[in-house]
Amino acid sequence: MSASPRVTTVSAFKKELASMDVSEPVLVTQNGEPLYVVQDPVQFEMQQEQMALLRLLSFAEKDVKAGRTLSSADLRAGLQGLVDDRNNEV
């Protein structure tokens, strides 16, 4: 994705709507002020997923800084306990 979206006016947007390429975001302005951002739905979904992953990464970094971590051995033991509990339920 480019650093900044393509910019167009409301009137130009209305004229070009049927043939407009929205693979990159388009910033629609009215009286020189930003009004809408139009984006391809697939690109929008990808952007939402990226933002969710970044949020999770931010939470993980905070956990590491706060010392809320597990060794691989502790993690393995905890997961094995969950598997064992699950197998005992069956």
Per-residue pLDDT of the chain (90 residues; tens, 9 = 90+): 456 779 999 999 999 988 988 888 999 999 999 999 999 999 999 999 999 999 999 999 999 999 999 999 999 999 999 999 999 987
Q: Has residue 74 been placed in a domain?
A: yes
Domain count of the chain? 1
Residue 37 within a domain: yes
- Contact present, 10 and 28 (Cβ < 8 Å): yes
Answer whether residue 78 is part of any domain: yes
CA distance 85 to 80: 9
Q: Is residue 1 part of a domain?
A: no
Q: What range defines the domain where residue 56 resides?
A: 6-89
Residue 58 lies in a domain: yes
